[in-house]
Every structure is written in structure tokens, then in C-alpha cells.
Amino acid sequence: MKLVRKDIEKDNAGQVTLIPEDAEDIWHTYNLLQVGDSLRASTIRKVQTESSTGSVGSNRIRTTLTLCVETIDFDSQACQLRVKGTNIQENEYVKMGAYHTIELEPNRQFTLAKKQWDSVVLERIEQACDPSWSADVAAVVMQEGLAHICLVTPSMTLTRAKIEVNIPRKRKGNCSQHDRALERFYEQVVQAIQRHINFEIVKCVLVASPGFVREQFCDYMFQQAVKTDNKLLLENRSKFLQVHSSSGHKYALKEALCDPAVASRLSDTKAAGEVKALDDFYKMLQHEPDRAFYGLKHVEKANEAMAIDTLLISDELFRHQDVAYRSRYVRLVDSVRENMGTVRIFSSLHVSGEQLGQLTGVAAILRFPVAELSDQEEESSSEED
């Protein structure tokens, strides 16, 4: 993301002009937008024109509109963002108050104005404009007959391809059908890797599977690469890292990212940090449940006691259209940082973010044990009796 201009006043009102450069930036833009914001961008509008003879025709005209945002629609697979709203600035083609939908796309500048820029939104702009946050990990999660090719960016896990091949069982004395089907499956996975993984950007390709599937696949892939003199695969052989996963489904990627060998290779990426934080939370929940809280009420109680060491929170909570609801989470984040705690904002499109979403979207690892909220409620109710 390229920051062109930033004008934010002391009362936190103001506007920023940005240019999204890739699909990841469109996701960041989706998280910046809220209903009631003002969005100014170039768009195409169908305009009816009347000639001197009275015949009516229509032309598609490129114009710049300023909309008051009403609905925001994000397609995570195609990474397309459509923003619908009413025109709030005079325009020769579009009346004031007329509805229009702007489609935001890479390399097209837009200006976003808000009455209140909070700390979470400003931090996201900083991260989006930091080039070190770009995607550098790919993963092939597979089992016999099923494979997912994924790109692990700092903010989301994108499934680029899903390969399914029916593989017959081995029969006594005749394995040829099984072997042929397996070879066909491996060949399709190799083609998908070459089609979807950009080795100029990707630093590491995880090959994860149960059993010996990953070893057999990698042996096949590099044997074929030698036979066909495939320079792309041979030159990037060192980037492939084999790790264990329980299945070939996308959710098994979390186990692969937790592997210590992977963690050391990915130590500088946000994705690895999120996975480790969630793993630490689950370990704490198992061994010291008084130091692992989840759910807004429990986490706020721990924050009042200044007990939060690490706050884990889903970015989905900051997209809520209710301003009071959203600002409650922003205050929590600011308060934890003031008390010298660490805040990790998880992407809801990431495998770790999906798991956090199942835990209400907010959790905390505490510095010291705090009595459960339910216990305190019971005590207070018994005192009242």
C-alpha cells in the first residue's frame, strides 16, 4: 500500500489518500472502511445523453465521485471490494444523493475521510504501508488424492488451488491402477505449484501431509524436474520444507505453522507470531486456566486488574457497524498497551484467526492468576442472600 497523503487533525478527524498495490491491500482497505465514512475515488458511470434531434443514448463515463458509505461488500476469493453509497459532492454527471457503487481495485487511488480515526485503524495503515509485511510463505497441504495450494500472507491464508483425484485402493498382486492415479495426482499438484507460487517473492514452501505422502511427492517432483530440466523447481529446491500435518485439509495448515522447524524459518513473519501466541494461549488454558481468559467480560475484568500480558483479538470485531461496540474493543486495545501489554490483532481470514473466532474473537494470556468472573459473581450473589 502506498500512502500519498495523510491529513489528520488533533481531534482525530481527517482524511488519508492511499493507493492499494495488491490483493492484500484490498483486504486492508476493507478493514479501514466503515458505514458513514466518506470515500472519494475514480469510477465509471453510465450516463444518458440526449442529442439535438431528441434521440437518447447512453455512454460510460469515467468520473470522480465522493460517496457517503452505506454498504461494503468484500469477496475474499476474488479479493474484490465494492462500496455502495450516496453521492455527497456536486458532479456534472451524478446528482446529489444519487446511489452509486465504487469498485476499489489495485493501483487506483482513493481518499478516505473519517470523523474519528482510532488507534487500531491508524496502526493498520502503518502496517499496510510497511513493505516488510508482504507475503513470503506458500504451503502445499496434502494427503493421498487431496491437496490445497495456499499462500500465507501476514493477514490471510489464500487458497489458490484445490486438487482432488480419486485414487483406487491397492489390490493384491496389482498396484498399477493405484500407482497410475497417484502419479496423475502428483503431476497435477506440481503443475498447480508452478502456476500459483511466485518463487521471486516466496521464501519458503511448506509441504505438509500425514504419513509419507510428502516425502513420496517431493521425490517424484524433483525426479521429474531433473528429467525435464525444470530450472524453476531445481533452482528453488532449498525453499521446500517438509512438515507433518494430520490431513490434506486447509485447517491442518495451523499444525504445520506450529512446527518448530517451520517457526525458525518464519520467525520474522506476522503469521508465525500469531500462531505461536494462540499456541501459548491453549497451553496456558490447559496447564494454568487462571491465567488464560477469553470472552469480552472476562478479558475486561483481567484488564481492570492490569493482568494482561498478551491480548489476542480478531480484526472482525473492529468491522462492527455499531460505533459503541467497536469503540469498546478499541479502548481495550489502548488500555492493554498503556499497561505495557502486547496486542496481537489476528486476521479473520487466517487459519489462526478462524480458531480465535471460535473463542469469541478475544482472549488474553495473563501475567498472574485472576479469579474467574463466574466465581466472583457467585460470591457476590451469596453475599446478597
pLDDT at 368 over 50: yes
pLDDT at 136 over 80: no
Q: Work out the pLDDT band at 214, boundaries 50, 70, 90.
A: very high
pLDDT average, residue stretch 244-248: 92
Q: Work out the pLDDT band at 145, boundaries 50, 70, 90.
A: very high
Q: Is 254 in the same domain as 303? A: no
Q: Is 259 in the same domain as 324? A: no
Q: Is 254 in the same domain as 179? A: yes
pLDDT at 383 over 50: no
Q: Which of 129, 157, 175 is the last residue of a domain?
A: 129
More confident residue, 171 or 226: 226
pLDDT at 92 over 60: yes
Digit-coded pLDDT (tens) for 317-337: 988 878 788 889 999 999 999
Q: Is 79 in the same domain as 62? A: yes
pLDDT average, residue stretch 229-243: 91
The string of DSSP letters for 175-215 reads: -HHHHHHHHHHHHHHHHHHHHH--TTT--EEEEEESTTHHH
Looking up residue 121, the CATH number of its domain turns out to be 2.30.30.870
As a whole-number percent, the residues of the chain with pLDDT over 70 amount to 91
Q: Which of 104, 129, 154 is the last residue of a domain?
A: 129
pLDDT of residue 270: 62
pLDDT at 77 over 80: no
Q: Is 306 in the same domain as 326? A: yes
Q: How far apart are CA 385 and CA 340, in angstroms?
A: 39
pLDDT at 374 over 60: no
pLDDT at 382 over 70: no
pLDDT of residue 377: 47
Q: Is 328 in the same domain as 245? A: no
Cell, residue 37: 465514512
CA end-to-end span of the chain: 59
pLDDT at 183 over 60: yes
pLDDT at 139 over 60: yes
Work out the angle between the directed axes of helices 296-304 and 323-338 (0-180°, nearest 10).
40
pLDDT of residue 380: 44
Q: Is 343 in the same domain as 295? A: yes
Q: Is 307 in the same domain as 329? A: yes
Looking up residue 210, the CATH number of its domain turns out to be 3.30.420.60
Q: How far apart are CA 155 and CA 345, in angstroms?
A: 10
Overall pTM surpassing 0.85 (yes/no): no
Digit-coded pLDDT (tens) for 93-134: 889 999 999 999 888 999 999 998 988 899 889 878 865 455
pLDDT average, residue stretch 369-383: 55
pLDDT average, residue stretch 44-60: 79
Smallest CA-to-CA distance from 62 within 49, 48, 44 is with 44
304 burial via Cβ count (<10 Å: 0-12, 13-18, 19+): exposed
Smallest CA-to-CA distance from 311 within 266, 366, 349 is with 366
Q: Please give the backbone phi and psi of residue 115, each rounded to the nearest 5 degrees, phi first.
A: -80, -25
Structural domain that includes position 27: 2-129
Q: Is 61 in the same domain as 179? A: no
Give the count of domains, the chain. 3
Q: Work out the pLDDT band at 24, boundaries 50, 70, 90.
A: confident
Q: Is 78 in the same domain as 145? A: no
Q: Is 246 in the same domain as 361? A: no
pLDDT average, residue stretch 174-179: 83
Smallest CA-to-CA distance from 362 within 284, 299, 304 is with 299
232 burial via Cβ count (<10 Å: 0-12, 13-18, 19+): exposed
Digit-coded pLDDT (tens) for 258-307: 777 776 666 555 667 788 899 999 999 999 999 999 999 999 999 999 99
Q: What is the mean pLDDT of the chain?
A: 87
Q: Work out the pLDDT band at 154, boundaries 50, 70, 90.
A: low
As beta bridge partners, residue 158 has 151
Q: Is 124 in the same domain as 229? A: no
Looking up residue 333, the CATH number of its domain turns out to be 3.30.1330.30
Given a contact cutoff of 8 angstroms between Cβ atoms, the answer to whether 214 and 170 are in contact is no
Q: Work out the pLDDT band at 90, boundaries 50, 70, 90.
A: confident
Helix (H) or strand (E) holding 217: helix 213-227
Q: How far apart are CA 254 and CA 252, in angstroms?
A: 5
Q: Work out the pLDDT band at 378, boundaries 50, 70, 90.
A: very low
pLDDT at 169 over 60: yes
* Cβ count near 81 (within 10 Å): 20
Q: Which of 101, 129, 157 is the last residue of a domain?
A: 129
pLDDT of residue 51: 72
pLDDT at 379 over 50: no
Report which listed range, 130-139, 175-184, 198-207, 374-383, is most confident.
Answer: 175-184
More confident residue, 237 or 136: 237
